[in-house]
Amino acid sequence: MNKHFFGLPDRKQRKILNSGYKVFSSNTYKKASMQLIADEAGISKSLLFHYFHNKQTLYEFLFLSAIRILQDQENTKIYTNGQDFFDLLEYELNLRLKLIERFPFKYRFLMRVYDENSLINNKEVNRIISESIKRRKMEVLNCVDKSKFRHEDDLEILYEIIIDLSNGFYFRVFDNGKMEKEGALNEFRLYLKNLKHNYYRKEK
């Protein structure tokens, strides 16, 4: 990668990153081309090659940038013992929304990387992503107030259910544009409310 990329204004850097996330997440690695990314970013292909030596270099940079962005987000979270599970999820959701607004295709890119089988360092990529997912899950499960649940054993499977719901929510809002964001957000919160009613103990 050329150091001149970091000399660009943040807005232009983000434009190139988002263009890479979009093209790589919408195509297999083999079909994603530097020309497509350059066109999406509104720059020439030769300039893109000036910043990144080849497609593999750009791909690896995008992956490392996406992981770093996630880690920076995680570092801003405050986990304390005895937190309400659903309040914590609401907080997580708001953080994720802010990040998605800046990098709308980043999560889909990471999902594509996770499933991509043709990369040289695929095992290492999967290890990094899996460890990040596991770490976040354990941080949440270890700090929530389990006494609020009817059955504490339900907590882990409930977490997985909500993660699947949130991934679906992301695709509906930021991917295909079929739903207005606020309406989808209210629908997702309604899901959480119903799950809370079914999994929490009834208040006396």
pLDDT recorded at residue 72: 66
Q: Could you say which DSSP state residue 203 is in?
A: P
Which residues are registered as beta bridge partners of 83? 144
Highest mean pLDDT among 9-18, 63-72, 134-143: 9-18
Share of residues in the chain with pLDDT > 70 (%): 80
- The whole-angstrom separation of Cα 133 and Cα 127 is 10
Q: CA of 133: how far to CAs of 67, 114, 127, 160, in Å?
A: 11, 12, 10, 11
Q: State pLDDT tens for residues 148-170.
A: 999 988 888 898 888 888 777 76
Q: Are the CB atoms for 50 and 137 separated by under 8 Å?
A: no
- The whole-angstrom separation of Cα 44 and Cα 36 is 10
Q: State pLDDT tens for residues 117-145.
A: 556 566 666 677 677 778 878 888 888 89
Q: Span 18-37, mean pLDDT?
A: 93
Task: Judge if pTM exceeds 0.75.
Answer: no
Q: Are the CB atoms for 14 and 105 separated by under 8 Å?
A: no
Q: State pLDDT tens for residues 86-120.
A: 888 888 777 777 777 777 788 788 777 766 655 65
- 3-class SS letters over 149-172: ECCCCHHHHHHHHHHHHHHHHHHH
Q: Residue ranges of the domains in the chain?
A: 3-199
**CATH class of the domain defined by 3-199:** mainly alpha
Q: Are the CB atoms for 192 and 82 separated by under 8 Å?
A: no
